[in-house]
Amino acid sequence: MWGIELDRSLDISLKRQIYQRLRDQMINGMLKEGSPLPSTRELAQTLAVSRNTVNEAYDMLIAEGYAESRHGAPTRVVGGLILDQAKQSAFQQHQETNPVPSFRADFKTGQPDLRQFPRYAWQRVFQKAMSEMPVELLGYGGPQGLVQLREEIAAWLLRSKGLTVDAGDIYITAGATQAPRRRFTWLPTCSIRTIRK
């Protein structure tokens, strides 16, 4: 039903497969503008998947602008999609003959638009901080991180969250990758008697 066949042997998730099949039907004109999509419960039963899987596929269609959802109404195919193959090929020819314009923002996942970085402001702040910084702070600190930073974080936790935390219990890491490694190197020095699974 709905022209969706799932291949469970693929590395592509089921929600992604559902999303791709419905998207392709919208682009090819099999699902017309304003057409309601099946309810998540109905499609989940038909495809023998969980309702959450279908919900996530619908969320991707909505996020990508292929479908729209209103409270109490079925999810529908949005208007303005290029459904006609002739129009689609004309659009592709137009894209090939006209260069892609430069954009004001770069929306790559996990990377900010570095063209907008305030270099001059950062340079001034950096120069001011470097001129006032004691020479001792230019070297490596202890394994827990800079003492002053840990004290500030402890003070902030008290002010904002009402948590009393000793600065000695705070560890500064370079990110989520370093944190687990550090935790396991600190573990033998802790006063934990047993570790349970």
Q: Could you read off the pLDDT of 40-65 as tens digits, one per residue?
A: 999 999 999 999 999 999 988 888 88
**Considering the entire predicted model, what is its pTM?**
0.44
**Cα–Cα distance for residue pair 81/173, rounded to 1 Å:** 47
Q: What is the pLDDT of residue 185?
A: 58
User: Who wins on pLDDT, 175 or 100?
Assistant: 175
**Cα–Cα distance for residue pair 15/81, rounded to 1 Å:** 22
At 133, list the tokens.
Answer: 């910084």
Q: What is the pLDDT of residue 72?
A: 82
